[in-house]
Structure 1
Amino acid sequence: MLRATRFVRLGLLFFGLPLAAHALVTWQNTDLSLGWRSADWSSTGTLPAAAQMPEAMLRVYCAPVGGWRSIFAVHCWVVYKQAGAPAYERYDVMGYSGEPIRHNRFPPDGRWFGNTPELVAETTGPAAAAMIPKVEAAIARYPHGDAGDYVIWPGPNSNTFIAYVMRQVPELQAALPSTAIGKDYPVEGRWLDWAPSRTGVTISLGGYAGATLAWVEGVEINVLGAVAGLDLRQPGIKLPGFGRIGL
């Protein structure tokens, strides 16, 4: 009984309190009433025009989702172009009607529900040129790309898709934010697998709970999609709602 009480207290300390605090911050600083039609989806102007970027480029963006879900979750997508290409290619997964994988539905560096995206991974030049075919192959063979496959929680959702793509390109050596709910959903059904960076391992119980121990991803405990943990490579803590806080 005493041990169970300790687990409850730890859960409140590392999961409940951060989520409550972030809910308060979000409520005070964000317009949660914005709907799909009223939100700003325009380009942030932070990505050079494709013609001004002659070399290959690969990026992963994440931005807070809309409404009350912005309290604890972000939406992620991938953008790339080969050397000399006249335009960028953007791929997202969305849970509306039809097939979930969407190509160039929004500007490559566009806002998401009015929120400015964060650049979480980037590579350019020959390294990007070598990775892009792997990204394209991963998009083509994503196992949950048919209509009806999308599940908002625990997955497979938009972040599951990007985590899957990154897992096929481990040389990118990047990690999605801990607030990317769905990133730990086991796409291929394995409860034990390499972390996307292949610098450690991850355990997932159907996306409902799990843990990751890896140099790039750090130490993460996942409870119902909320993640708490430590960043080892760039020292910091990870809290539900807030994400990574650098030390």
Structure 2
Amino acid sequence: MTKYIGLLLISVLLSACSTNDSWRTASRESAGIAPAPETEKEAVIEFYAADAYSWRGWFAVHTWVATKEKNATEYTVYEVVGWRVNRGLPALSEYKTATPDRYWFGAKPEKILSIIGPKADALIPKISEAVKHYPWANEYTVFPGPNSNTFPTWIGQQVPELDLDMPFNAIGSGYANKK
């Protein structure tokens, strides 16, 4: 009986500590940390991390990659999301937006890498090529991976000039070493 009370207490605590009542109503607004494409004409590469949704954010982050070619009016965002697989879609998605720094369902993102200018211009084609060859584009497993943290890590391995240093709580980033 004590075991069940303990499990119930843990469940209540975890659900009560959620940062948002619902993923449907959680903020997805821009954090205002990405260079605006209308003012920054140079090429831009940015890697972002935000606390994972709900109680998972205590332990892990969700990461994604954004690139903007020189003089482009939008960023290309690449990210891996598990719910896509559950719907029969690839885990890896690519989309265009002027706001690549959106809150991750209520969690403000932080930049983990930012490169602007000629170096970004030279590396964007390498990133685009690496994305095409991501070996787990149709897979997602929370732990040990592949997941949203495996993807940017793998891109960093394919494009070592990025000198990417993933956060310690990017759980699943070590999975990229399997290929």
Which TM-score applies when normalising by structure 1? 0.61
- What amino acid is aligned across from residue 57 of structure 1 in structure 2? V
> 2:90 corresponds to which letter in structure 1?
E
Contact 2:153 2:173 in 1 (8 A): yes
Within-5 A mapping of 1:64-143: 64-96=51-83, 97=87, 98-104=89-95, 107-143=99-135
* Cα pair 2:75 2:96 within 8 Å, conserved: no
Which of the numbers 25, 28, 31 marks the counterpart of 1:41? 28
| 1:140, distance to aligned residue in structure 2 (A) | 0.6
The letter for the 2-side match of 1:137 is E
Alignment-derived partner of residue 182 in structure 1: 172
- 3-state SS, counterpart of residue 111 of structure 2: strand
Other structure's SS at 1:137 match: helix
- Report the identity percentage: 38
2:154 aligned residue:
164
Higher RCO (CA-CA < 8 Å; seq separation 6+)? 2
Structure 1 stretches of 4+ with a deviation exceeding 4 A read: none
Deviations 1:53-94, CA, capped at 9 Å, x for gaps: 111110100000111101100000001111111211111100
In structure 1, C-alpha distance between the alignment counterparts of 2:36 and 2:19, rounded to whole Å: 32
User: What amino acid does structure 2 have at the position aligned with 1:176?
Assistant: M
| 8 Å CA contact retained: 1:143, 1:187 | no
Q: Distance in 2 between matches of 1:47 and 1:152?
A: 27
Distance of 2:178 and 2:109 partners within structure 1: 28
1:33 to partner: Cα distance: 4.7
Please say if 1:150 is aligned against 2:137: no
Distance 1:77 1:66 in 2: 14
Please point out which of 44, 48, 52 is paired with 1:57: 44
TM normalised by structure 2 equals 0.83
- What SS does the corresponding residue of 1:185 show, helix, strand or coil? helix
Cα shift readout 1:23-70 (whole Å, capped 9, x = no counterpart) = xxxx7xx64453220211111122232121111110100000111101
C-alpha separation in 2, matches of 1:167 and 1:114 = 29
SS at match of 2:175: coil
Greater fraction strand:
1
Distance (whole Å) between structure 1 residues aligned to residue 80 and residue 43 of structure 2: 23
Inter-CA distance 88–62: structure 2 relative to 1 (3 Å threshold): same
